Amino acid sequence: MNESERLDKVISTQTSYSRKDIKRMARSGEILVNGKICKNSDVKINPEKDVITIGTDKISYKRHVYYMMNKPKGVLSASNDKNATTVVDILPPQLKRKNLFPAGRLDKDTTGLLIITDDGDFAHRMLSPNKQVYKHYIATLDKELDDTVKERFESGIVLSDGTVCQKAYFDKLSENTALVKICEGKFHQVKKMFLSCSYTVTELKRVQIGNLRLDEELEPSGVREMTQEEINSVFDGKIY
């Protein structure tokens, strides 16, 4: 962000208030800049240095935010949807702000680690197959796993429509569960890869992205802000 920005723009990026709301609040004397009432919502300020207060709430300026969510079943990985509840809808009110989106989608019935942010560059780097950021999933299957599945996954699965997947890493955890690691994000990819091997995924949970692991203390629907170390860990330590 530039050194100087309009007050209404800064507030709108840090909160869920509309420009119209901000203008109204400024006129009514609810907005303070450095302790002084500011009735001009288009005044230029320095968001890195100036202190903005709305009522008794101080606006803590952050250029971007990064949230870790333990996504529950039945919630859509999207910013908004007219017909379904989204992961942004279930964020606590104090965490909501403009332009939030899930960095990479999980199917509606898939659970686990989801990053919600407003940093498009971060999301692009995380999702690009060229960056080799592996996503780790635990899959539960409808029947006992055959030993040949591992070889097929690590050779590169060819889907029914002819799509060739990059090689995946596969570890059998039990008779009908496996840990799968992929660096792509094709639509329903893990489910389709198993389907090509004649297995149906009955449960799917993402537990890790890069070196970022799902916080085990987060209950389904739980969400918290990520630390800088956790943000960096998404791109750290490529172990393959």
Q: How far apart are CA 37 and CA 102, in angstroms?
A: 36
Q: Is 57 a catalytic residue?
A: no
Q: How far apart are CA 168 and CA 155, in angstroms?
A: 8
Q: Which tokens go with 127?
A: 């999702």
Any idea which residue has 């639509």 for tokens?
187
Residue of 57, 81, 89, 107 with catalytic role: 107
Q: How far apart are CA 89 and CA 185, in angstroms?
A: 23
Are the C-beta atoms of 226 and 77 separated by less than 8 Å?
A: no
Q: Which tokens go with 172?
A: 């059998």
Positions marked active-site: 107
